[in-house]
Amino acid sequence: MTDSPRMEVPDVSAQEKLNQIAVARRDGLDARLEAVRDHLAGAFGGLGFEDHYGELTVVASAAQLADLLRFAKDDPALRCEMLTDVTAVHWPGGRVEHRAQETTGWPTYAIEQEGRIDVLYMLLSVTHGHRFRIRVSLPDDQPIVASAVSCYRSANVLEREVFDLMGVRFEGHPRLERIFMPEEWEGHPLRKDYPLGGVEVQYKGATVPPPDERQY
């Protein structure tokens, strides 16, 4: 019996991996995404654009979102037929410390920031093969934005998830109800101001205590 062939794994040091990441970040957007960025900039005023590791993020206001999504779907140069995901990140307000000395050598400093929730829409063009995201920032004390369901039917379930777990209200959604938590549940578990405690769980006839009360 002959030995099965062994796959050779290249010996790449940690520093070489970091160098590869740095090169990928410097390379910026490819030609397709540069064309997308320039096309959107020419069609809409007031948009912001970010690119990290070859990915394009379009920064828009809540008022621009509905028109921007419709344009991204219908415009022949963009033709984003699919909304693949809607997600959100909570940035609570208050005093935030930046530990700058770890990367730049400057001393740690603190800033006061207002709480916000960033809602992100992931778009994909099957026709052209490009993908990018749109980001909208909302105040975390009243996060309200127009629903995308009239433009993308996939937004129906995706927006319900963000509503349930983050508390974002999507105006015009046909059935904005919780999708994971019970309807009577108080609060939104993925917000960073949500308590870290848990609830008891029934499992195989026994009660499993919440995580903050377990003995490990």
Between residues 25 and 114, which one has the greater pLDDT? 114
Task: Show me where the domains of the chain are located.
Answer: 18-142
Output the CA–CA distances (angstroms, integers) from residue 105 to 98, 100, 162, 180, in the order listed.
Answer: 12, 6, 38, 45
CA atoms of 67 and 121, how far apart (whole Å): 14
Q: What is the pLDDT of residue 6?
A: 58
Mean pLDDT, rounded, for 72-76: 98
Residue 105 has pLDDT above 80, yes or no: no
Of the pLDDT bands very low, low, confident and very high (cuts 50, 70, 90), residue 11 is: low
Output the CA–CA distances (angstroms, integers) from residue 48 to 40, 51, 134, in the order listed.
Answer: 10, 10, 10
Q: What is the pLDDT of residue 118?
A: 98
Give domain 18-142's CATH number out of 3.30.460, 3.30.70, 1.10.150, 3.40.1000: 3.30.460
Angle between helices 31-43 and 65-74 (to 10 degrees): 130
Check if the beta carbon of residue 164 is closer than 8 Å to that of residue 180: yes
What's the token pair of residue 53?
């590791």
Render pLDDT for 123-174 as a digit per residue (tens, 0 to 9): 999 999 999 999 999 999 999 999 999 999 999 999 999 999 999 999 999 9
CA angle 10-16-21, nearest 5°?
110
Q: What is the DSSP letter of 18?
A: H
Between residues 185 and 19, which one has the greater pLDDT? 185
Nearest to 136 by CA among 117, 154, 119: 119
Render pLDDT for 107-116 as a digit per residue (tens, 0 to 9): 777 778 899 9
pTM: 0.78
